Amino acid sequence: MIPGLRVGIGYDVHRLVQERRLVLGGVEIPYTLGLEGHSDADVLLHAIMDAILGAAALGDIGQQFPPGDPAYKDASSLGLLVQVADLVKQQGWQVSNLDATLVAQAPRLAPFLEAMRCSIGQALEMDTDRVSVKATNPEGLGSLGRGEGISSYAVALLAPLGK
């Protein structure tokens, strides 16, 4: 065990639907479909928040921001990420490193990854060289491969605040 470090993992998946904006990593992606959800359904930020909350043993985003609560209807997940960062800081932690992967058949996400990294780094007040965002294609396999949704995995490393 390495004293003073904590690791968390997050996963999220949302269905693609008509008449919704597609927001990933706080960046609006031009596409004909968007993700279904109570908030803006930013699957990448949801996985990242779950990873951070998990590392701090603070539950998950559903516990922190209940999906039935009207206060979070169409909420910006980027704003929720800032709140998660503040909550973790109150517990004496800071995000040291993030690594996340988006899984989507379409649209092509590579042109937007750098903007996502910058958006996430800014929300967490951390250098983008400690934020990794990647995208992969499910190669036509399963529901994601049929273009029915998008998923994301994330791992967060927390360190004591100020170290």
Of 158 and 73, more confident: 158
Residue pair 76/43 in contact (Cβ under 8 Å)? The answer is: no
Q: What is the pLDDT of residues 6-29, one digit of tens each?
A: 999 999 999 999 999 999 999 999
The pLDDT of 40-68, averaged and rounded, is: 96
CATH 3.30.1330.50 for domain 6-160, yes or no, is yes
Residues 6+ apart with CB under 8 A from 77: 23, 26, 39, 40, 41, 42, 45, 46, 49
Whether pLDDT at 1 is above 70: no
The pLDDT of 31-51, averaged and rounded, is: 97
Helices 43-55 & 77-90 angle (0-180, nearest 10): 10
Question: 163 pLDDT band (50/70/90 cuts)?
Answer: low
Residue pair 98/118 in contact (Cβ under 8 Å)? The answer is: no
Rounded to whole angstroms, how far apart are CA atoms 33 and 45?
18
Q: Which helix (H) or strand (E) holds 53?
A: helix 43-55
Whether pLDDT at 3 is above 70: no
Q: What is the pLDDT of residues 67-97, one digit of tens each?
A: 889 988 889 999 999 999 999 999 999 999 9
